[in-house]
Amino acid sequence: MDLASQPHRRYNPLLDEWVLVSPHRAKRPWQGQQETSEVEVRPAYDPTCYLCPGNARTSGAVNDKYEHQFVFDNDFAALLPEEVKSEELRVESVVPAEGPILHPSLLTYNFLRAEAETGRCRVICFSPRHDLTLPEMPVSEIRRVVDVWTDEYRMLGADPAINYVQIFENKGFVMGCSNPHPHGQIWSERTVPDLPARETRAQRAYFEQYGRSLLADYLALEEKTKVRFVVENATWVALVPFWAVWPFETLVLPRRAVQDLTQLSEAERDGLADIISQLTIRYDNLFEISFPYSAGLHQRPTDGAEYPEWTLHLHFLPPLLRSATVKKFMVGYELLANAQRDITPEQAAERLRALPAVHYKVGA
């Protein structure tokens, strides 16, 4: 089978699911939606921005006049720390006094089920500069962001009411970002969310069978050919995973398997900042725009267990497919049947790898 030209399925061992790859479809003409690609020029400071230093937010709180990073509790948090008395909220099935007889299963199976969920949501401003994004920031400042991520993971995870800390960034309006000021979010909650829970089960099953890390063994396999590598340094690798769903999706892996950010050495923190810089610069250079994506760290839960099977990693999930104006739509077959992609992961990696390491705006 020719993986570069024939339709085929690829298995994702991290989530125990499949993706359909249809490389021949990349040649089809596109007459669908085209986004307007405009060069956005922003000031270094915006007096109307609720994330810029010293500005008031809609809640009435005033930001610190910060010079590097700034973290605060989200004014519109999706999760709240208040305890709910009942751990589980149930809507009980009721047998009507008169009327049709209910099937017996309706009397024993709880279809209408809800659980109270608590947590804490934080916002991290990456820079006081309103006009910068991660690929335009010095590596030294990205390293400061890594340190803040680490401190927040440690602080939030120490709360016995928190069992998982999700650090992520939505970059660009197309990803639902409501403010262009460079920032990310940290949601921490009582339960482990679905995707990290699935990754936990997959990594645990592999570790129990082989006594090794699933992602460390996967990286060792990719290291043999490097055909899906995008960038690498002494401590980290960014690659397009064999099972990638989004066109230019990447997975960032440490060369030394660790479970969470707090276990990284100083050199590994430096390396993580460097690999984020290298990768996001190539993203921007691909179509010479501020490349949109959702990105986030996955690491072990914070319930106090050891989780020796876990390996810290980052996912970058960008939506653009053909150009700055054509994005990948998850519709139809993808929503109802199976994830699907057109260009192969190897083609995506080759295109990203070939791009210059210097941001396209430098010298422009």
Catalytic residues: 183
Neighbours of 216 (CB within 10 A): 14
| Phi, psi torsion values for 52, nearest 5 degrees | -70, 155
What DSSP element (H or E) covers 70? strand 70-73
Q: What's the rounded Cα separation, in Å, for the pair 283 and 317?
A: 11
Q: Are 307 and 209 in contact (CB under 8 A)?
A: no
Q: CB-based burial of residue 177 (10 Å sphere; 0-12 exposed, 13-18 middle, 19+ buried)?
A: middle
Q: The tokens of 180 are what?
A: 């262009």
Q: Are 341 and 217 in contact (CB under 8 A)?
A: no
Placement of tokens 């400071």 in the chain: 45
Q: What's the rounded Cα separation, in Å, for the pair 25 and 23?
A: 5
Three-state DSSP class for residue 348? helix
Q: Which residues pair with 166 in a beta bridge?
A: 187
Q: Are 68 and 115 in contact (CB under 8 A)?
A: no
